[in-house]
Amino acid sequence: MKELYYLGGVLKLKLFKGFAATALCTAMIVSGVAYSQQADAGPPGHSKAKVENVIFMIPDGYSTSFATNYRIFKGEDTVLDSMLVGMMKTNSADNWVTDSAAAGTAMATGVKTNNGMISVTPDGETVETILEAASDAGKSTGLVATSTITHATPAVFASHVQSRGSETDIALQLVNEIDVLLGGGKANFLPSSLGGNQAERNLLEESLADGYAVAENRNELLALSKKDKKVLGLFADDGMAPELDRDQTNEPSLAEMTDTALQSLSSNKKGFFLMVEGSQIDWAGHANDAAWAMKDSEAFEEAVEEALAFAKKDKKTLVIVAGDHDTGGMSVGGYGEYLAKADILHDVTATGDFMAAELNSDRSNVKAVIKEFTNLDLTDEEAERIKKAPENSTALTINQIVSERAYVGWSTTAHTGVDVPIYAYGPNSSTFSGLLDNTDMPKRIAEAMKIEFGN
């Protein structure tokens, strides 16, 4: 036997006499060298080049079952499929099943805390966030969400409070600290919500005075100049509309907000850190609303496409995508049959909440309403289930029936503790491969950006 070193390993070949064997060995060695050189260079998007910009995208509540059902819904591989690099553990300091505050705190600070707490330790000590570290390094910063911009996930990157419910306190910490803020929650920035010794403050007016360009609807957002380095966009008093119902509003899409944020932040030659949350994937999971979950997953994918287009052109931008936890315990298939039909959700044009609001007082129009917004013909039994449902669970009952038709199962209206996928593209994206803890995320981002960070 003769040994040949090939691609770093040992390939044992029995050499025969003649030209054919020599040619074969030569071809294998040449091929190995070429492959080795290609491997050293790294595939596009996985180089070790310095990262100037980070776009951290969080589809709240998104797990592997959401990813699979969305692929079925779309009918082809998703943009995220080619970016899959690893998995992430999600538990909080005090619970195997985390909430968004604790999960986000870990992903923003590298420190675990108790459920409900925002970027403080379980003892209440303030901890630095990766966004704050990027800002200290001279980079611009931005937060984008379809919830209130003061909701748990955006809040953890730039505020520090004992309770996630302190949204007006969070608003006071965000303004003038973050360059771009886009989402819902306008009520938290107005005098009526600021109470006590803050009663006379109007954060919208203060923001205008401090150089922010302010937008309150889609038209105003799209009319902003690319030269606006500071932008405050608040498009709803509370959370923004679900993607299914957005056509009833003048609110921008998540993709449009992402594009605006990138235009603004990219003017800083030192780079930027941007967090983009697809907030309502989580809300859909809580509601067991499969159609809402798929449409907001679609809206999130469109935002990811905006981020990737920027990163592919820029070549110095790292895009990371990871849900903070699973919501709803969704399954692919169920109800005793080997079937999955998430594609039928294309015919659903409204959320369960919207459909429930369309029912008359005795719910005698239930079949007509469900037919109009889902194209499903309810059985008499299904119609009775909705008619007899308590008022506070009418929407949930509608959603469960639609989910049954699509063979999308649910185990809870709360969170679960399963691991979630990590996706990445750009320089140093391979850093996020393998099974990571949620506390690893900001540490590896800081390493990729070569900035000081540590708690």
Please write the tens of the pLDDT for every residue from 75-94.
Answer: 999 999 999 999 999 999 99
In-domain check, residue 454: no
Same domain, 70 and 27: no
- The residues that bridge with 374 in the sheet, in sequence order, are none
Each residue of 236-274: pLDDT tens digit?
A: 999 999 999 999 999 999 999 999 999 999 999 999 999
User: In terms of domains, do 170 and 84 share one?
Assistant: yes
Are residues 234 and 341 located together in one domain of the fold? no
Whose tokens are 């949620």? That residue is: 438
Is there a single domain that holds both residue 128 and residue 100?
yes
User: What's the total number of domains in the chain?
Assistant: 3
Predicted local distance difference test score (pLDDT) of residue 41:
31
**How do residues 319-342 score in pLDDT, each as one tens digit?**
999 999 999 999 999 999 999 999
Candidates 70, 9, 41, 25; CA nearest to 346 is: 70
Active site residue 100: yes
What does the block give as tokens for 99?
A: 């909430």
> Is the residue at 212 inside a domain?
yes
Residue 151 is assigned to a ligand binding site: yes
CA dist 268 and 272 (Å) reads 7
DSSP labels for 174-243?
HTTT-SEEEEE-GGGGSHHHH-GGGTT--HHHHHHHTT-EEE-SHHHHHTS-TT-SSEEEE-SSSSPPPG
Q: Is residue 70 part of a domain?
A: yes
Q: What percent of the chain has pLDDT over 70?
A: 87
Question: Can you tell me the distance from the alpha carbon of 130 to that of 137, in angstroms, rounded to the nearest whole number?
Answer: 11
Rounded CA separation 48/448 (Å) = 8
- 89 and 29 in a common domain: no
Q: Is residue 455 part of a domain?
A: no
State the Cα–Cα distance between residues 42 and 292, nearest whole angstrom: 38
Residues 151, 119 within the same domain: yes
For 427, list phi and psi in degrees, rounded to 5: -55, 135
Was 353 annotated as part of a binding site? no
Is 286 annotated as a binding-site member?
A: yes
In a domain, 48, yes or no: no
For residues 216 and 176, membership in a common domain is answered with yes
- 44 falls within a domain: no
**What pLDDT sits at residue 193?**
64
Q: What is the predicted pLDDT for the residue at 227?
A: 80
Catalytic residue among 100, 119, 193, 429: 100
Average pLDDT over residues 401-426: 98
How would residue 455 be classed by pLDDT, with cut points 50, 70 and 90? confident
Residue 282 labelled as part of a binding site = yes
Does this model's pTM top 0.95? no
* Pairwise CA distance, residues 346 & 133, whole Å: 42
At position 309, the amino acid (one-letter code) is A
Query: Do 240 and 137 belong together in one domain?
Result: yes
CATH number for the domain including 403? 1.10.60.40
Tokens of 278: 């697809």
* In a domain? residue 64: yes
Residue 25 pLDDT greater than 60, yes or no: no
Burial 230-250 (b: 16+ CB within 10 A, else e): bbbbbbbeebbbbbbbbeeee
The side-by-side arrangement of strands in the sheet containing 140-148 is: 213-215, 231-234, 180-184, 140-148, 272-278, 53-59, 317-322, 420-425, 84-89, 434-437
Task: Confirm whether residue 77 is marked as ligand binding.
Answer: no
Helix (H/G/I), strand (E/B), else coil: 422? strand
How far apart CA 272 and CA 126 sit, in angstroms, is 23
78 among annotated binding-site residues: no
Token match 């071809």: residue? Answer: 27
Summarised one tens digit per residue, pLDDT across range 177-204 is 999 999 999 999 987 766 544 555 788 8
Backbone angles phi, psi at 266, to 5 degrees: -70, -5
Question: How far are the Cα atoms of 155, 158, 231 from residue 172, in angstroms, in the given order?
Answer: 11, 11, 16
For residues 252 and 124, membership in a common domain is answered with yes
Query: What is the token pair recorded at 327?
Result: 């919501």
346 is an annotated ligand-binding site residue: no
DSSP structure class, residue 393:
G
Task: Tell me whether residue 217 is in a domain.
Answer: yes
Domain containing 130 — which CATH number?
A: 3.40.720.10
Residues 232 and 253 in one domain: yes
25 lies in which domain range?
2-39
Q: What is the mean pLDDT of the chain?
A: 89
265 and 162, same structural domain?
A: yes
Between the CA of residue 173 and those of 14, 121, 160, 161, 434, what are the distances in Å?
Answer: 71, 18, 8, 10, 35
- Same domain assignment for residues 383 and 266: no
